[in-house]
Amino acid sequence: MSDSDMKVSIFKGGVHPAHSKRTTESVAITKFSPPQKAVIPLQQHIGAPCEAKVKAGDKVKIGQKIGDSESFVSVPIHASISGEVESVGPYNHPLGKQVEAVTIASDGADSWHDDIKPLGELEDLSPEKLREIIREAGIVGMGGATFPAHVKLKPPEEKPIDTVIINGAECEPYLTGDHRLMVERPEDIIYGLKIMMKALEAENGVIGIEKNKPDAIKTMQELVKDETHIKVAPLPTKYPQGAEKMLIYSITKREVPSGGLPLDVGVVNHNVGTAIAMTEALREGKPLVERVLTVTGSGIKQPANLKIRIGTLVKDVLEVQGWHEETTRKLIIGGPMMGLSQTSVDVPVIRGTSGILALTDEEVNLGESVDCINCGKCVDVCPVYLVPTFIAKAADRQMVERAERFNALDCIECGCCAFGCPAGIPLTLKIREAKAQINEKRKS
């Protein structure tokens, strides 16, 4: 089957927010200068946090392991600059809490650790060795979920994987970093896909790209035209096309069951940035110490796609790119639909930071909410078949069992319900509260 013949399906629900990508979609990725101080949290992934492997006064180099965990669902943390460890202790995190972090003062040398070197050729490495390399490189899902990549590459034996999907949808408004990576580094994405396919012993690879990125589609199709088992799937432009359940259905027509995972239907998803990180880990021995993100919004003087070191403080990025603090109504880490509003700029860029948005009054709807008018629009747009208002009311009344019966944990927090609510009810926030209540109950 050729790329042009590939049939895709359209998932139920979803919304069509303004793309707001024009400012940066044609802007090439530039390197942001290494920071004078890097604050590197020891919790940057789903799973067990790391324990510090360094202490104040230690000298470190780029790529040196500074944190690790014995847990399988975890990955190590590495120094992103060379210098001296100033402290190990609590620091602000984009999730709105304080976590243990290693603060490093730069020595100005920007020198890499001696152990950073190529690790071999793909054809010579076993699936087990590939997973080990990916784990030791600290690679996580770069789309924002930050799930340890090596865990996805080791499914249970009774659940074989036949298809690996690379998520190039980038359906969140404003964000364009993945788009630029597909245009500027397509070969590295293909190589990363092949690493995943070998690690999983999967026969098929598919790169899913929304149709509003025709240059990326054309570039990728040209590269894979002679590949027997790798195809490009141009996807309808609809949010949240990049959510893994929606992506899997669009490309394969397989439905991930309630409470299930992609591996239940023989599929593994990974982001384009994750694919590149795997390529760099294998070809250069480079751990995950930097990422590409988009800095934009009407509150930014110089919007850009930046390749930036993990641990760089958001306030330093804003200063360089020109932040109009006085006109910024909302500062968001990530995208406007699923990202998190920040109350402080004294937080670091972490592995899951896909964007820094400074939005003004014209870009933010801050109207007051009113009581639900029972219009049912939130039900129509929910891509996972939930009734968001029922879950929100259960959360308000702390009716945990009822929220659980309404399948609150199936919510992917895409924000479609809140986006489409004419009453202005913060449904996504309320569902997050319900999920937290359920998880807290399960722990007790």
Print burial letters for 180-210: b (CB count within 10 Å at least 16), e (below 16). bbbbebbebbbbbbbbbbbbbebebbbbbbb
* Assigned token pair, 158: 């009774």
Determine the Cα–Cα distance for residues 281 and 417; give it in Å rounded to an integer: 39
* Assigned token pair, 5: 């013949």
Task: For residue 29, give Cα distances in angstroms to 192, 269, 304.
Answer: 19, 24, 7
Instruction: Say what the pLDDT of residue 144 is.
Output: 81
Strand partners, 41: 101
Determine the Cα–Cα distance for residues 152 and 141; give it in Å rounded to an integer: 10
Instruction: Say what the pLDDT of residue 159 is.
Output: 95
Nearest of 384, 390, 377 to residue 418 by alpha carbon? 377
From first to last of its 444 residues, the chain has per-residue pLDDT tens of 455 456 788 999 999 999 999 999 999 999 999 999 999 999 999 999 999 999 999 999 999 999 999 999 999 999 999 999 999 999 999 998 999 999 999 999 999 999 999 999 999 999 999 999 999 999 999 988 899 999 999 999 999 999 999 999 999 999 999 999 999 999 999 999 999 999 999 999 999 999 999 999 999 999 999 999 999 999 999 999 999 999 999 999 999 998 899 999 999 999 999 999 999 999 999 999 999 999 999 999 999 999 999 999 999 999 999 999 999 999 999 999 999 999 999 999 999 999 999 999 999 876 678 889 999 999 999 999 999 999 999 999 999 999 999 999 999 999 999 998 999 999 999 999 999 999 999 987
Neighbours of 233 (CB within 10 A): 22
Instruction: Kindly state the helix (H) or strand (E) to which residue 41 belongs, with its residue range.
Output: strand 37-41
Strand partners, 234: 209
Encoded amino acid at 313, one letter: L
Collapsing DSSP to helix, strand or coil, 101 comes out as: strand
Contact (CB, 8 A) for 394 and 436: no
Contact (CB, 8 A) for 84 and 69: no
Phi-psi label, residue 138: left if phi above 0, alpha if psi -120 to 50, beta otherwise:
left
Q: Residue 115: exposed, middle, or buried by beta-carbon count in 10 A (0-12, 13-18, 19+)?
A: exposed
Nearest of 184, 215, 191 to residue 205 by alpha carbon? 191
Instruction: Kindly state the helix (H) or strand (E) to which residue 188 belongs, with its residue range.
Output: helix 186-200
Instruction: Kindly state the helix (H) or strand (E) to which residue 248 belongs, with its residue range.
Output: helix 244-252
| CA torsion angle 362 169 303 276 (round to 10) | 160
Instruction: Say what the pLDDT of residue 282 is.
Output: 97
Encoded amino acid at 358, one letter: A
**Where are the extended beta strands (E) located within 114-229?**
163-168, 204-210
Instruction: Say what the pLDDT of residue 3 is.
Output: 54
Instruction: Say what the pLDDT of residue 443 is.
Output: 86
Instruction: Say what the pLDDT of residue 1 is.
Output: 43
| Tally of residues, the chain | 444
Is the pTM here over 0.85, yes or no? yes
Query: Cα(first)–Cα(last) distance of the chain, in Å?
Result: 52
CA 4 to chain centre: 28
In this structure, what DSSP letter does residue 59 have? E
What is the largest distance, in Å, between two alpha-carbon atoms of the chain? Answer: 63
- What are the residue boundaries of the structural domains of the chain, listed by start? 3-22+118-284, 377-443
CA 408 to chain centre: 22
Contact (CB, 8 A) for 34 and 81: yes
Contact (CB, 8 A) for 339 and 359: no
Determine the Cα–Cα distance for residues 162 and 363; give it in Å rounded to an integer: 42
Q: Helices 272-284 and 177-184 sit at what angle, rounded to 10 degrees?
A: 50
CATH number of 3-22+118-284: 3.40.50.11540
Instruction: Say what the pLDDT of residue 367 is.
Output: 64
